[in-house]
Amino acid sequence: MVVHGRSGGRRRLPEDGRAVEIDALRPAGDCFVARLKGVADRDAAAMLRNKDLYVPRERLPAPDADEFYLADLVGLAVMDRDGKKLGTVMAVHDFGAGPVLEFRPDAGGDTVMLPFTEQIVPVVDVAAGGRLMVVPPAETEEPAMWRASVLTIFPEMFPGPLGASLAGKAREKGIWALEPVDLREFATDKHRTVDDTPAGGGPGMVMKADVIARAIDKVADDARPRLLMSPRGAPLTQARVAALAQGPGVVLLCGRFEGVDERVITGRNLEEVSIGDYVLSGGELGAMVLIDACVRLLPGVMGKEASGAEESFADGLLEYPQYTRPATWEGQPIPEVLVSGDHGKVAAWRRKEAEKLTRERRPDLWAGRGKK
Ligand code: SAH
């Protein structure tokens, strides 16, 4: 009947506003069995089945030491381990798996739900100016998932290759999330038109600014960079990929037809990114390239965290040649140094080979080294 203790009972009060009087009461396990005045037989009792019963807070007896009414928690200050105030308790819920504390963070944003257990809420002080201390469970301290929203007229192309292998497994593990957004949903006519003829004439069609703007305004309501896949953009580099992977995610707009009305590019601050000096028929493959390159750098995606640090471009160099068994294949042996077991010599050989390859194949990379 009374709500106390952390695994406390439930409030049992009449929800139809009717007052009932208790004649007799005896404890039975976690609950009480009560006889109500005027409820004399089985049928009358059945009428009360599944009814919640409410007791005015001021009528409840003082709780025992280390017990409290959940209702008294509302309004308490929520502190962290160091005594810093995090927010204020809004409500205590019971969805069936024990009480859940909901508090409003002082920093703004969504309210936070925490299980109301001894471990997560070790200190509760209901006395004047009350407060409670919370120790959030580990997962609430982890950074939010890396999120890629892809605005496209072909949402069915996704996840496509991003659903397989490294990226696919990482998505299953919840390391990143993919949100394909159908641009046609933001059209206003019954044909769901997203394009129109180019002003000034010429071939092809141009994607409409208003449709794209509505989609961006709905989806990109956070700090993620907004990129437009575009052959006119800055060529994507490993450095840019690494920077994007460190952020909260990306919002990617995929062009189709001749491209996108220039006004939405400037009006919504879209940064144009190219995946190379050639023209694709749409931005979707480019978006997949960009997402794949970012996802493999997210913590926990590649087997060994270090394996990203040694790759092509990581150090402004292309990667050294790789070999695996058999020791000799079609008469070609693995370079001797690699089977010598001398780690210092192996590292020096790899460095030299990487430099040689970069000089020969990518004089532009070689010339640009150390300039950043
Ligand atoms: N008329 C445009 C090309 C349009 S191709 C021009 O000459 O620049 C259609 C869409 O494909 C583009 O809007 C863009 O989103 C995408 N796209 C094409 N090539 C790309 C590239 N190299 N990198 C990134 N996106 C590309």
Residue of 316, 250, 258 lying closest to 288 (CA atoms): 250
Percent of the chain with pLDDT over 70: 91
**Mean pLDDT in residue range 110-123:** 86
- Residue 178 backbone phi and psi in degrees, to 5: -120, 130
User: Can you say how many angstroms the Cα of residue 202 is from the centroid of all Cα atoms in its chain?
Assistant: 43
Considering only 88-92, 184-188, 215-219, 241-245, which range has the smallest mean pLDDT?
A: 88-92
Which residues are bridge partners to 328 per DSSP?
333
> Rounded distance, CA 114 to CA 185, Å?
36
The mean predicted confidence, pLDDT, of the chain is 88
Confidence of residue 141 (pLDDT cuts 50, 70, 90): low
Distance CA 74, CA 88 (A): 8
Rounded to the nearest whole angstrom, what is the distance from the C-alpha of residue 275 to the centroid of ligand 1?
A: 9
267-to-31, 187, 309 alpha-carbon distances in Å = 62, 18, 37
For residue 247 the two structure tokens come to 């952020």
Decide if 354 contacts 313 (C-beta within 8 A): no
The CB density around residue 137, as the number of other CB atoms within 10 Å, is 13
The HSE-up count of residue 27 (CA atoms within 13 Å, CB side) is: 4
Residue that wins the pLDDT comparison between 197 and 313 = 197
Select the more confidently predicted residue: 157 or 300.
157
Confidence class of residue 372 from pLDDT cuts 50, 70 and 90? low
Q: What are the residues facing 152 on neighbouring strands?
A: 182
Q: Among 19-23, 77-81, 234-238, where is mean pLDDT lowest?
A: 19-23
251 alpha carbon to ligand 1 midpoint, in Å? 17
Supply the residue whose CA is at minimum distance from atom 1 of ligand 1: 258
CB of 198 shorter than 6 A to ligand 1 = no
Choosing from 230, 261, 292 the residue with most ligand 1 atoms within 8 A of its CB, the one to mutate for a pocket test is 230
254 CA: nearest ligand 1 atom: 15
Pairing of strands 195-196, 123-125: unpaired
Q: Is 256 in the pocket of ligand 1 (CB under 6 A)?
A: yes
Higher pLDDT, 80 or 348: 348
Q: What is the pLDDT averaged over residues 100-107?
A: 90
State the Cα–Cα distance between residues 218 and 345, nearest whole angstrom.
55
Domains of the chain in start order, with CATH, are 10-59 (no CATH), 70-140 (2.30.30.240), 146-295 (3.40.1280.10), 312-369 (1.10.1270.20)
SS3 177: strand
Instruction: Establish whether residue 259 lines the binding site of ligand 1, counting it when its CB lies within 6 angstroms of any ligand atom.
Output: yes
The pTM of the whole model exceeds 0.85: no
